[in-house]
Chain A
Amino acid sequence: MEVIDLAWWKLGLAALLVLALAGTGYLARLGITRNLLIAALRTVIQLALIGLVLEALFASSGFQWIALMALVMLLVAGREVVARQGRRLQGWWAFGIGTGSMFVSSFSVTVLALSVVIGPDPWYTPQYAIPLLGMMLGNTMTGVSLALDRLNESVWRQRAVIENRLMLGQTWKQALEDIRRDAMRSGMMPSINAMAAAGIVSLPGMMTGQILAGSPPAVAVKYQILVMLIITVGTGFGALMAVSWGGRRLFDDRERLRLDRLVKQ
C-alpha cells in the first residue's frame, strides 16, 4: 500500500478551520486567539523545517549530526519548560533543573530502548533515534513543566502552611511532602491517562501514523506499547528529578523557605 501524499493546499483547508476557531475565540473574548494563532503558525513552520532537516539527516546519518540534533531538541525543550511555568526559579536554575532532569531521564531511557529493545544497527540510526527521542522529549517536557509549575505555584500559595510546619520542627522534606506528591501527580497524570485510554478511547498518534504508512497493525501496536511504556518511565523519572531538585532549591541550607528565589513571569 502506497501512502497518499498530501498537497500543501489541502493543509490550507485545515488551517482555515483554525482561523475559524480563532475568530470565534476572539468574538467570545476567550483570550486565547493570539496564543492559538502563534502556536499554529509555529507548528507549521517548525514541522516544515524539521522535514527538511530530517531528510538531510537520514541521508548523512553521521553520529555527530544526530547528536547535534538531539542537543538542539533538548535545549529547545528546556526553554519551553521555563516558559510554561507561571512562577519559576530565578536565574539559570529554572532552565538548568528542567533541562537536566529531561536530559537524564529521556536520553538514558531512549538510549536503553534503542540499544537493548529495538536494536537497529548502528544503535543511533536516525530513522529510529530521532522520532523516539522526539516523543520522549515531548512528553517528558510536558510532565516536567506541569510538575514544576504545580510545585512552584503550590509553594507560593501555601507558604504560610510550609513555614508553620517548619516552625514545628519539621524538615523541609516533611514540610513539602504534600506539595511534592501533588506536583508529581500532575506531572504523571497525562502519561497515566494516555496509557489508560490507549486503544479504547484514543488511537495513539505514532501507531496511527505507522498504520497509515503501511505497517501491519500488529507491528505498529508493539511499537506503540514500547513507546507508551518508555514515555511513562521517562516522564516519571524526569518529573521526579525536577520536583526533588526544584524543591531543594526552594529552601536554603538552613531549611528556610526562600520564595525570593521565585520570579513571576
Chain B
Amino acid sequence: MTDLVLKNLCVGTLSNVSLTVPGGQVVCLSGPSGSGKSRLLRAVADLEPHGGTVSVADTCQEDLPAHQWRSRVVMVPADSQWWFDEVGGHFPDHVKADLPSALGFPPEVLEWSVSRLSSGERQRLALWRALLLEPEVLLLDEPTANLDNDSTEAIETWLLEEIRRRQIAVLWVAHDVGQIHRVADAHYRILGTSLERADGSD
C-alpha cells in the first residue's frame, strides 16, 4: 500500500503533526490563511527544512535523493508556474494524444502560447502535468481556487477517478466546505499549532 505517513512533523508554527493518508484516499486540510497549510505541504514535498519524518510505502524522505522523492510525492502549488513559451514544452512528447476530456481543452492546447492561458486554465493543466508523473502521493494546494463552479465539479470528478484508479494518497488543501464534503475521506483543521480532526458531517 502506498500510505503517506507523517510522524511528528514540525514546520513553521505547526508542531508534532502525525497523520496517515491511505493510498486512494483524500485527506482535506483547512484553516485560516497564514496557518501553515502550504508550508505543511512543502515540508511533505521536502521543499522546506522541517522536523519529524515523512514516509511513503515505508520509504522515508531521507532514503531517496530529494528529486526522486519529489517525483513520487508531487506538489501542485496554488499558483502554478510555466517557464517555456509554449504549453507543450512542459509536457512529455508522447502524451499529446491522451489529453483528458474533463480538462475541457481542444487537442491543440499544447501548441498554445502560455501567455494566453487564464489562471484557471493554467491550474487545470498543472494538475494534468502533475498526474503525468504517475505520483504515489499528490499534494494539492487549493487546486480549484481559480475555477468556476461547473469546471470545479468536473475537475473534482476527474481527479477523484484518477486518485481511486491509481491508488494515489492525496493531501488536499481546501477552503470550500462543499468541496471538502464532496472529495474528502477525512478532514483536518489547523488549530493553532496542531491538526484537529473535523467532524465528518460539516
Contacts and interface: CB of A to CB of B under 8 A. Distances in A.
A binds B: yes
Contacts, number: 57
A215 B70 CA distance: 63
Interface in A147-164: 158, 160-161, 163-164
Contact of A170 (B46, B48, B67, B72): B67
Interface in B53-100: 61, 65-68, 70-72, 74-77, 79-81, 83
B46 A167 contact: no
Interface of A: 158, 160-161, 163-172, 178, 252, 254-257
B102 interface: no
A167 B48 contact: no
Nearest to B81: A164
Contact of A255 (B66, B74, B75, B80): B66
Nearest to A174: B67
Contacts of A165: 81, 83
Nearest to A257: B47
A169 B70 contact: yes
Contacts of B147: none
Contacts of A170: 67
Nearest to A172: B67
Closest 5 CB pairs of A and B: A169-B71, A164-B81, A255-B66, A167-B75, A254-B66
B11 interface: no
A168 B77 contact: no
Given A165-B81, A254-B66, 19 more contacts: A160-B81, A161-B81, A163-B77, A164-B77, A164-B81, A166-B70, A167-B70, A167-B77, A168-B70, A168-B133, A169-B71, A169-B133, A171-B67, A254-B46, A254-B61, A255-B65, A255-B66, A255-B67, A257-B47
22 contacts: A158-B83, A161-B81, A164-B80, A165-B81, A166-B66, A167-B70, A167-B74, A167-B75, A167-B76, A167-B77, A168-B129, A169-B67, A169-B68, A169-B74, A170-B67, A171-B67, A172-B67, A254-B46, A255-B65, A256-B47, A256-B48, A257-B47
B131 to A, nearest CB: 11
Contacts of A178: 83
A256 B71 contact: no
B49 interface: yes
Contacts of B70: 166-169
Contact of A166 (B47, B61, B129): B47
A161 B70 CA distance: 15
Interface in B128-187: 129-130, 133
